[in-house]
Amino acid sequence: MAGAKKASDPSQKHEAETTAQRAPRKPFPADFIASPSETGLTPGLYIVATPIGNLGDITIRALETLKAVDAIACEDTRHTIMLLNRYGLHKPLLAYHDHNADQMRPEILQRLEAGQRIALVSDAGSPLISDPGYKLVRDCADREIFVTTLPGASAAISALQLSGLPSDRFLFTGFLPVKAGARRTALGDLAKISASLVIFESPRRLAELLHEAAEILGNRHGAVAREMTKIFEEVRRDTLQNLAAYYAEAEPPKGEAVVVIGPPLVQQASAADLDTALKEALLANPSVRGAADEVAALLDLPRREVYQRALALKDQKP
């Protein structure tokens, strides 16, 4: 909201939803994790989802698998080692990320073809979401190497759940282009999609993205989620214009943000209500544009979309 105070202001507590302080978790019982002989893992690649924040958000099956594999391919070994230390696991780590994927992929494939069991993890959440993992899976499939997935946490799905926006149909876009021109073009393409949009963005570009989205997509409803599953979890819900104004004035938030943008507003409003309002406005106002402007303001809908519907109704035979 324009001119809004930061979430730390007591008068704005309702705008920033924070997860309650959590007590430290006890270490995962070592004897509860099955031994490699008990798991009998098939040689191959295991795609393992890891927590997006709270280290308690990992499945028992993931822990069993991480203990049983021969090695773990990860984005940042320093990050993954913290998760392994949390649960007393010790495994060889293979750095596999955007900058070395082409060099490391043949080595990982060679290990897999030799009968090793390798887990693929990302720094947080589900692998293959905005990382080079899909190329490894593709090459495994070409070589008929066994591949399976261990589902779990996902920042995109978590943000969609928290947004309060329609989730029956959504499109995950990952990070949009950094350059303004390319980003605006991408948003223009997304304007045609009748679904909620889930976008990753850095805190430095958050306000700019929200401003451009409001301009190109219309002043839709949106949500910005960050620090999900952590102590300072925050979800801010508002119109895109108000969200853009808030983050333009506030300090850039820490950590990457997930932006969820609702579907076109005409899609959210009842089609029957829109038609009823337009027919009444057209009876009272001979100007199609004037009637459309009136209804757009009344229902808080994009003028262009309401005008197109008004023209369609005007052309219909009685």
The arithmetic mean of pLDDT across residues 185-203, rounded, is 94
Across the chain, what does the average pLDDT equal? 85
Query: What's the total number of domains in the chain?
Result: 3
The arithmetic mean of pLDDT across residues 282-307, rounded, is 81
Q: Is the confidence at residue 310, as pLDDT, over 90?
A: no
Clarify whether residues 145 and 247 are in a common domain.
Answer: no
Residue 266 pLDDT: 61
Residue-range definition of the domain harbouring residue 88: 33-150
Least confident of 80-94, 186-200, 250-264: 250-264
Clarify whether residues 256 and 308 are in a common domain.
Answer: no
The Cα 129–Cα 122 span in angstroms is: 9
Residue 318 pLDDT: 52
List the 234-239 sheet strands across, edge first: 170-175, 196-201, 257-261, 221-226, 234-239
Clarify whether residues 38 and 146 are in a common domain.
Answer: yes
Summarised one tens digit per residue, pLDDT across range 120-157 is 999 999 999 878 899 999 999 999 999 999 999 999 99
Q: Is the confidence at residue 25, as pLDDT, over 60?
A: no
Decide which of 150, 178, 193 is a domain's last residue.
Answer: 150
Q: Is 272 exposed, middle or buried (0-12, 13-18, 19+ CB in 10 A)?
A: exposed
Tokens of 188: 């223009």
Q: Is residue 5 part of a domain?
A: no
Q: Is 161 exposed, middle or buried (0-12, 13-18, 19+ CB in 10 A)?
A: middle
Tokens of 179: 């350059």
Summarised one tens digit per residue, pLDDT across range 52-95 is 999 999 999 999 999 999 999 999 999 999 999 999 999 999 99
Domain harbouring 39, CATH code: 3.40.1010.10
Task: Write down the pTM of the prediction.
Answer: 0.73
β-sheet bridge partners, residue 189: none
Q: Is residue 174 part of a domain?
A: yes
The arithmetic mean of pLDDT across residues 151-174, rounded, is 96
Q: Is residue 27 part of a domain?
A: no
Domain harbouring 207, CATH code: 3.30.950.10
The Cα 121–Cα 92 span in angstroms is: 13
The arithmetic mean of pLDDT across residues 180-206, rounded, is 94
Half-sphere exposure of 15 (CA within 13 A, CB side): 17
